[in-house]
Structure 1
Amino acid sequence: MSKKFKILCLFSLIAIIIAAVMNMNTGFLSLHIQDFFQNSNHSQIAEIRVNRILVMLLAGISIPTSGFLMQEYFQNPLAGPDILGITSVASLSVAFYIFFSHDFLLPEFLQNSFLSLSAIAGSFALMLILLSMSNKFQDKSYLIIFGFLVSAFAGAIVSLLQFYAENQSLKNYILWSFGANNMVTRNQIFLLFILVSIGMFICFKTIKPLIGNSLGSSYAQSLGVNLQHLKLLIIIASSLLSASITAFLGPILFIGIIVPHFCRLIYNPAKLWQQWILNMLLGMLIMLLFSTIAEKTQIPLNVISSIFGIPVILMMLLKQNKV
């Protein structure tokens, strides 16, 4: 590891700690440190804030990693976690659940759990379809086209459901799509942690083959890289990471595109192991900062990520056009 990389990691960790403390002290009430460790009148609020930080850390790890895998595999800096249609199908599954479950009387905690499980189930169903279709798509670009078609179809169905939905169901779906980070319970965080851990383990298995893949398909095969196996691992890891976050937080847009872009700007893009680590660190920092802004301004998390991400992507397009 170079000295520059160690310094970047050190500063990132310090910034993450500062951002976490800021996030913990952001809200309608001012909390004391004993509220986080002892039973008090504000212990429940302290628990909500701790849960908020934990879920932002997991989101900061998952979304940039998913985008990093997509960009490195497709060799396209504008590829994101939703390029395969996973996010769109998760949104469609949630829409079906919200719009058709209002006749069932369920406790609130079960409603939130079933909402997340519906998103995960829909995403996993698409992942299985992608895995079965990947053998037929020898060209990487066909996967992108397939994902675009799936996203367009899912978006059309969601629009149709919204058109015929009752007012309360439509409101519930819109609130979910904004990205609510205060609604995640400790049990849900534990489940999310398991899903993210599995996705990160699979990602770990893909980094070395991705290094060979970045040098070209022929050279990668000469190094013994199984490109078909790599494609399957990329689909599983990226789908699992993006779907799990979408299920519990709603669609968080653009983070999976802009974080890998920033990491390539500040460090050697050819060193994928270091790039992966930087993506996780910078992702956690950005998500904590966005969460703090969302709490202070009461602007939905998804709106903040869009306001920040759209100008960055536009600059990336202009920069590529100049080249």
Structure 2
Amino acid sequence: MMSKRFKVLCLLLIIAILIGAVINLNTGFLSLGFLDFFQDSSNSQIAEIRINRVLVMLLAGISIPTSGFLMQEYFQNPLAGPDILGITSVASLSVAFYIFFSHDILLPEFIQNSFLSLSAIGGSLLLMLILLSMSNKFQDKSYLIIFGFLVSAFAGAIVSLLQFYAENQSLKNYILWSFGANNMVSRNQIYVLSILVLIGLFFCFKTIKPLIGNSLGTSYAQSLGVNLKQLKLLIIVASSLLSASITAFLGPILFIGIIVPHFCRLVYNPSKLWQQWILNMFLGMLIMLFFSIIAEKTQIPLNVISSVFGIPVILLMLLKQNKV
């Protein structure tokens, strides 16, 4: 049963999201009229770009916090997330391999978008499988954070090596992608991204109930009939799909998967996972729309903004944990 406080929180977030979307649609070098968004005019293409920008920010706001939320609940670690555990880095490495080695292959745009997302998801799935196998060997799951940093450093080194030997156009394409250019995403890419996000959310939906049992302890979860192996597999698929699909089309959007679940636990009961998931999606959408407005106003890349915002928050989280 949803409490009155939860309903009020959701209503406030929905109103803020709508306001953020309207501000986004009106943010840019050119002022657009209301009719530009609904009928053919000289500014219709610009209006479409802004609509695409809002849609992709909403998808990113749903996906990245959900991925972080799933991993934090599964690993029982508030610092677990797609970027800290190296998933974003490996997805970036997979995309780099695709961009640098497929430039001579002529393919339709829709197929190119599919291969781009598949390369990112494939790399993320592989890393998640390694992470979950390592989690069985490490008694202290905080070692996974260290392992994730090592993976991120290794992936970064390989990407730097690829950049060093890359041709000019491939290097330019990769740099533009890595900046998180939300204006570059086309409507066809949004269709592909939407399908991937919906599949990821379906798997996420399947994990929430088992995660509630898992949060009470492994033995208690098994007594409730929770299939822990199936839960592990669902977490792998859902987290990888959600984080890697966004990384494939928007570049590495860092730290959002960590800080949004943290804020949600501060404002509402952390043991109510269904409500936490909903809050994560709403707050994630609001924050990504806010970042998009800043990116358009300042022309600073999206991933730089997310890092500048996220790093101090994570530092405060570490200091707070240290005091406890």
TM-score relative to the length of structure 1? 0.92
The answer to whether the Cα contact below 8 Å between 1:202 and 1:233 also exists between their aligned partners in 2 is: yes
CA–CA distance in structure 1, aligned partners of residues 231 and 49 of structure 2: 39
CA–CA distance in structure 2, aligned partners of residues 190 and 63 of structure 1: 18
The answer to whether the Cα contact below 8 Å between 1:134 and 1:232 also exists between their aligned partners in 2 is: no
The answer to whether the Cα contact below 8 Å between 1:71 and 1:78 also exists between their aligned partners in 2 is: yes
Between the aligned residues of both structures, percent identity stands at 79
Deviation of 1:17 after TM superposition, in Å, equals 0.3
Equivalent position of 1:20 in the other structure: 21
Aligned in 2, Cα 1:93/1:135: closer, same or farther, shift over 3 Å? closer
The answer to whether the Cα contact below 8 Å between 2:120 and 2:248 also exists between their aligned partners in 1 is: no
The answer to whether the Cα contact below 8 Å between 2:87 and 2:128 also exists between their aligned partners in 1 is: no
CA–CA distance in structure 2, aligned partners of residues 167 and 293 of structure 1: 29
AA at the equivalent of 2:249? F
Equivalent position of 1:54 in the other structure: 55
Equivalent position of 1:120 in the other structure: 118
2:161 corresponds to 1:163:
no
Aligned in 2, Cα 1:46/1:18: closer, same or farther, shift over 3 Å? same
Deviation of 1:5 after TM superposition, in Å, equals 0.4
The answer to whether the Cα contact below 8 Å between 1:212 and 1:225 also exists between their aligned partners in 2 is: yes
Provide Cα deviations, 1:147-189, integer angstroms capped at 9, x if missing partner.
5554333222112112223444333322211101011111111
The answer to whether the Cα contact below 8 Å between 1:65 and 1:276 also exists between their aligned partners in 2 is: yes
* Structure 1: tracts of 5 or more residues without a match: none
Equivalent position of 1:221 in the other structure: 222
Provide Cα deviations, 1:79-127, integer angstroms capped at 9, x if missing partner.
112345332222112222333344x2758x73x9636623532432551
The answer to whether the Cα contact below 8 Å between 1:19 and 1:289 also exists between their aligned partners in 2 is: yes
Equivalent position of 1:237 in the other structure: 238
Provide Cα deviations, 1:273-317, integer angstroms capped at 9, x if missing partner.
100000000000000010011001101000110111011011001
The answer to whether the Cα contact below 8 Å between 2:90 and 2:127 also exists between their aligned partners in 1 is: no
Q: Kindly report the root-mean-square deviation, in angstroms, between the aligned alpha carbons of the 2 structures.
A: 2.2
Equivalent position of 1:275 in the other structure: 276
Residues 85-234 of structure 1 aligned to structure 2 (within 5 Å): 85-102=86-103, 104=104, 106=106, 110=109, 114=112, 117-128=115-126, 130-131=128-129, 134=132, 138-139=136-137, 141=141, 147-234=148-235
CA–CA distance in structure 1, aligned partners of residues 105 and 133 of structure 2: 43
The answer to whether the Cα contact below 8 Å between 1:90 and 1:119 also exists between their aligned partners in 2 is: no
Equivalent position of 1:38 in the other structure: 39
Provide Cα deviations, 1:33-79, integer angstroms capped at 9, x if missing partner.
10000100000100110011001000000000000001111111111
Aligned in 2, Cα 1:105/1:227: closer, same or farther, shift over 3 Å? closer
SS for the counterpart of 1:191 is: helix
TM-score relative to the length of structure 2? 0.92
The answer to whether the Cα contact below 8 Å between 2:98 and 2:119 also exists between their aligned partners in 1 is: no
The answer to whether the Cα contact below 8 Å between 1:91 and 1:119 also exists between their aligned partners in 2 is: no
CA–CA distance in structure 2, aligned partners of residues 254 and 132 of structure 1: 21
Farther off after superposition, 220-229 or 201-210? 220-229
The answer to whether the Cα contact below 8 Å between 2:255 and 2:311 also exists between their aligned partners in 1 is: yes
SS for the counterpart of 1:138 is: helix
CA–CA distance in structure 1, aligned partners of residues 48 and 13 of structure 2: 25
The answer to whether the Cα contact below 8 Å between 1:131 and 1:235 also exists between their aligned partners in 2 is: yes
AA at the equivalent of 2:199? I
Provide Cα deviations, 1:260-281, integer angstroms capped at 9, x if missing partner.
0000011111111100000000
Equivalent position of 1:252 in the other structure: 253
AA at the equivalent of 1:271? K
Aligned in 2, Cα 1:136/1:21: closer, same or farther, shift over 3 Å? closer
